[in-house]
Structure 1
Amino acid sequence: MEKVALKLKLPNVEKIQRDGALAVGGSTIFEGDALTVLRRLPNNSVRCVVTSPPYWGLRDYGIDDQIGLEQTMPQFIQRLVAIFSEVKRVLTEDGSLWVNIGDGYTSGNRGYRAPDKKNPARAMGVRPDTPDGLKPKDLLGIPWRLAFALQDDGWYLRSDIVWHKPNAMPESVKDRPSRSHEYLFLFTKSEKYYYDWESVREQTENGGLRNRRSVWNIKTKGFAGAHFATFPADLIRPCILASSEPGDFVLDPFFGSGTVGVVCQDEDRQYVGIELNPDYVSIAVDRLKGVESNVVRISVG
């Protein structure tokens, strides 16, 4: 694999072409399209995958080939299924996939989304039409649509975790409860897989320990310079502890600002991050500075 030293501004990151296999000898960030990079990674090379793909129709990150602005919801789901199919090949036979995915509501065929008084950042100038079969104001149900699609594609769907956000973003709605949760799904490649349940036990009211439950109360935590969808380290850490051992490789095909890498550093794991947006690659590199890391940019041709 072609390697380069960690650099904050990334001016000299070496470009490589889209042909040929990639080897991963240590923690690495790949700047490029997730599917393109995944197709070049070796079989059975990572023990655990923790990721949060872009949500459909909720944000425009202003970059070509981004996921989340597909014209239809089935196109979005199938694009993720294709990516996770490659993830399955890259995953060890006893490996696990943790996917955090949020939901949304139909647009009513409006080509924009107005700002909420309590959340101005939600505004965007492009938005997909209401999917066939759904009505204005319908909840899309994307998390479960994706979960069932991955199950149909051969993944074992082992758990649905409700991520309860005690400090959830307020909404100005008056005709439904304000949303304060997202889903985190645990998938496995095989019927039998590595899971260290003791490492993620939770404390009981009387001070004892018990098997971790399926509702996790974890506050959202912003990060300066990153997009609002950064998922917190406290959500990632139990996934990595339960599904990998020290020295294992952990993959995030939607690396964003690099929080999975930060947790891997804390827990003595190697990370493999894939990120399309060069601005987020720069943020991740800045957060992960001070340790040996490789940054590889996958060029178009």
Structure 2
Amino acid sequence: MIDEFENPVLAYDNGQVVLYCGDAVDELSRVPAGSVDCVVTSPPYWGLRDYRVAGQLGGEPTVAEYVAVLAAVFDEVAPVLVPGGSVWLNLGDSYGGSWGNYVADGSTAVRSRYGSHRPPQQKHRAKDLVGVPWRVAFALRDRGWVIRREVVWHKPNARPESVRDRFARRYETIFELGRGQRDDTETAAGPEVWTVSADRTGLNHPAVGTREIARRCVRLGCRPGGTVLDPFSGTGTTGLAAREQRCRFIGIDLDPRCHEIARQRLGLAGERS
């Protein structure tokens, strides 16, 4: 397990794969400035899942607080990115009524289910689409990021939703972001909709990334032999895509259990840092 290591923050480092265990804002300070060619990440979505980890992203009572926390992470991403580097940010949206908002007044169901890790969410009107991805994108633009493009990820095998009075959501949003303009036009063309089935891996984790999405982002965003960063690396899906392309990988996650799964998936479970 991670706590067996002499350094509990540096969960793993073999020169090609580096894993840091801790809050993304804190651990990004350990990444050298200008050392990352591409960032590919899918942070925890607001108000949709509880990972049972203190300090987890996505448990903020308001969407404004969620956006502010995520924007602060990207303030720390900016200095580690090479000039012209790209960031691929995958975010899902949510409707008012998710995360216990239908619990009757006076019920303790929300607190008893989520314990101390997840505070009660301030209510949104039921069935009102929150618009989380674009709220985040506009906040990042205000902080100097350029929204280079939006990709719609269409998921033909999206999980069924028990709704009868609105459309079921079968897509997520992927933004390519940067600091200023790129010098090349290699990735200027391409489809705006990616139809990719979500992975159903059976891993003991509620939100395993889809490797084909990570693979496409790495191919488009990272030079051969470059370095890919995921500040919310989870079970290592971005790392798998990076290593397929012979890129170095840096992963950061708050949950040591995720790093253990990532090491197993990357074939590093028997190695020590």
Amino acid at match of 1:137: K
Taking structure 1 as reference, are residues 95 and 174 closer, same or farther at Cα in structure 2, changes over 3 Å only? same
- Asked if 2 retains the 8 angstrom alpha-carbon contact of 1:95 and 1:193, the reply is no
> Aligned runs of 1:78-227 on 2, under 5 Å?
78-107=68-97, 110=100, 125=114, 127-130=120-123, 134-193=124-183, 196-197=186-187, 211-227=189-205
1:273 equivalent among 251, 259, 264 = 251
Return 234-243 or 43-52, whichever deviates more: 234-243
- Asked if 2 retains the 8 angstrom alpha-carbon contact of 1:52 and 1:254, the reply is yes
Q: Deviations over 1:126-154 (max 9, x none)?
A: 65122xxx523211100110011111110
Taking structure 1 as reference, are residues 60 and 193 closer, same or farther at Cα in structure 2, changes over 3 Å only? farther
- Asked if 1 retains the 8 angstrom alpha-carbon contact of 2:48 and 2:58, the reply is yes
Determine which structure has the larger helix proportion and give its number.
Answer: 2
Q: What's the offset of the Cα at 1:69?
A: 0.5
- Aligned Cα root-mean-square deviation (Å): 2.7
Give the structure-1-normalised TM-score: 0.79
Contiguous gaps of at least 5 residues in structure 2: 105-112
Q: Deviations over 1:203-233 (max 9, x none)?
A: xxxxxxxx42110000001223242322211
Aligned residues: 259
> Aligned runs of 1:14-53 on 2, under 5 Å?
14-15=6-7, 25-53=15-43
Contiguous gaps of at least 5 residues in structure 1: 1-8, 115-123, 199-210, 296-301
Structure 1 segments, 4+ long, off by >6 Å, are: 291-294
Taking structure 1 as reference, are residues 283 and 110 closer, same or farther at Cα in structure 2, changes over 3 Å only? closer
Report the 3-state secondary structure (helix = DSSP H, G, I; strand = E; otherwise coil) of the residue aligned with 1:15: coil
Q: Deviations over 1:131-186 (max 9, x none)?
A: xxx52321110011001111111001011100000111111211111110000000
Instruction: Tell me, in whole angstroms, the C-alpha distance in 2 between the residues paired with 1:188 and 1:45.
Output: 15
1:237 equivalent among 204, 215, 221 = 215
Taking structure 1 as reference, are residues 71 and 294 closer, same or farther at Cα in structure 2, changes over 3 Å only? farther
Q: What's the offset of the Cα at 1:197?
A: 3.1
